[in-house]
Copies of this chain bind each other. A is one copy, B any other.
Amino acid sequence: MITSRDVAKLAKVSQTTVSRAFRDECYIHPETRKRVLEAANQLGYFPNYSAKSLKKRQSKIIGLLLTNYSNKFYTTITQSVESHMNDNGYRLMLTFSDEKPDKERKYLESFISSRVDGIIYIPVSRENEDLVKATEQFDIKVLQFTRNLYEYLDSFFIDDELGAYTATRYLTNMGHRRILIIESEINRGASMKIEGYRRAMREAGAELIPEGMLYLNADADPTSAIAYAASDLRPTAILSSSSMFTLPALNACQRLKLNIPEDISFIAYDDNEWLDFMHIDAVAHPMDEIGAQISDFLLKMINSKEDDGVHQPVVRMIKPHLVVRSSVKRIEG
């Protein structure tokens, strides 16, 4: 294994000088640097980041802890974040909690032991709050993403209330009153999407019946559940507020022989290219921006050294927008 010592020997300089040649902040004679770099190249020398991290007390690694990749949203953000982080000299460590607190725990521990400089993560439960607090000891900056579980952490998430409101509002404006919204069971009681839905419905003077809000978990057969609920309620429109349920909802419509938009209107949450192909309206997120914004924000946190005083958590809302295509029909009240 070639080390800076070997390079030093060949270049006839001290090991310290080799180290200097590989950092641009340092005082070093241009010619010396050139000689060192040549020697390094000749020997096939690559600096050892572990040693560097150990000494500098910064790993130049960002930990990304997602739940899974079920959603195009996460994969797009991942790639964007990776690109931005890399542009700034950081490497990305990728993990998935799978919505399981014990996996979240394992990964947070792993991040701490890796001495990552920052963590972007989708919190699963407050079960691992001790670890979140422990990050502070190691000067690891943590950014909550998507969910706002810890009130004292900086947070970056989609304004789902607005997203669902915008979609529902569009439906009510088009004359719809019996709207079925589908949401994940996990979010029951704390769903901002349901809040947005309610607000729009109230504003339109539409009746808010419990049957209009369908909570589903992924394991049960969602298509059947939706078909059942739809044939019961006979809604004029469906708002699939989780990408997990969009295809099942579409399937349910197909099973009930309900054409979109003739027989039923449809809006999906989270846009993608095949929804575009099928001319289905969707609540979309400015993905390119989001990745850049999260990255910049975390990098700023990392580079600021305000260890003193109380930290006022920053909460940044990302505004989604409705992409109108042709899956919503205007109907008569």
Contacts and interface: CB of A to CB of B under 8 A. Distances in A.
A51 B49 contact: no
A286 interface: no
Contact of A250 (B51, B76, B277): B277
Contact of A48 (B44, B49, B54, B76): B54
Interface string A107-120: 10110111100000
In the complex, the 4 A-B pairs of residues with the closest C-beta atoms, listed nearest first: A50-B53, A274-B274, A50-B54, A94-B94
A108 to B, nearest CB: 10
A55 to B, nearest CB: 9
Contacts of A59: 50
A134 B46 contact: yes
A91 B78 contact: no
A231 interface: no
- For this chain, the copies found in one complex come to 2
Contact of A274 (B82, B95, B96, B247): B247
A91 B93 contact: yes
Nearest to A114: B49
Contacts of A78: 69, 94
Given A92-B93, A94-B94, 4 more contacts: A1-B137, A49-B115, A69-B76, A92-B95
Contact of A251 (B53, B107, B277): B277
Interface of A: 1-2, 44, 46-51, 53-54, 57, 59, 61, 68-69, 75-76, 78-79, 82-83, 86, 91-96, 106-107, 109-110, 112-115, 134, 137-138, 247, 250-251, 254, 273-274, 277
A107 B91 CA distance: 9
A138 to B, nearest CB: 7
A92 B96 CA distance: 11
Contacts of A83: 96
Nearest to A56: B50
A93 B93 contact: yes
Nearest to A106: B86
Contact of A46 (B57, B93, B94, B112): B112
Contacts of A94: 78, 82, 92-94
A54 B51 CA distance: 6
Contacts of A54: 48, 50-51, 54
Contacts of A112: 46
A105 to B, nearest CB: 12
A146 B215 CA distance: 40
A109 B250 CA distance: 46
A113 B254 CA distance: 54
Nearest to A251: B277
B95 A46 contact: no
A274 B47 CA distance: 46
Nearest to A107: B86
